[in-house]
Amino acid sequence: MDCFGDKAREQMVRRYDISAVAHVKLLNNQKKHSCTGRVLTDSYYCFEYKGKNNGHDIGAFYCGEPTAKKFLALTGGDDVPLFNPLKSDSLSVSGNSSSVGGAKRKVDPATKQLLNAINLLVVCWDTAPYGKLAKIKQDCY
């Protein structure tokens, strides 16, 4: 999936339903290739896409924060919190775009464990989740 440039992103949004699935901190010396063709070395977003005219045209792609913010603006989608596999955090997640000031809300411990497990799969499998796994993660927010 090539998403380099505003025109390419706009075409993707017209052709696909696109939603953020994960925002993951890369480990030291880890690298990912963005859909823009650049190499990501700090963190990356995973996005799921589904064809608007073909429900079987599904998949996922990676991008950096600037491109992710552009996709989120184009789609009106919600941002996802950064997951750092080496850092423990409190049991809260950022609110969605409809929450006041991006407030954080408490998350049930079991839900937090499920979110962490999915994020760890993203890191370990070295693949972007889509389909049922992405739906489970989105439903937790």
pLDDT digits 0-9 by tens, 86-103: 876 544 444 444 333 445
Tell me what pLDDT residue 6 has. 96
Contact predicate 3/35, CB 8 Å: yes
Instruction: Please identify every stretch of the chain with a pLDDT value under 50, giving residue numbers as ranges.
Output: 90-102
Tell me what pLDDT residue 55 has. 83
Q: In angstroms, rounded to a whole number, what is the distance separating the alpha carbons of residues 139 and 31?
A: 29
With a CB cutoff of 8 Å and minimum separation 6, the contacts of 103 are 94, 95
Tell me what pLDDT residue 130 has. 62
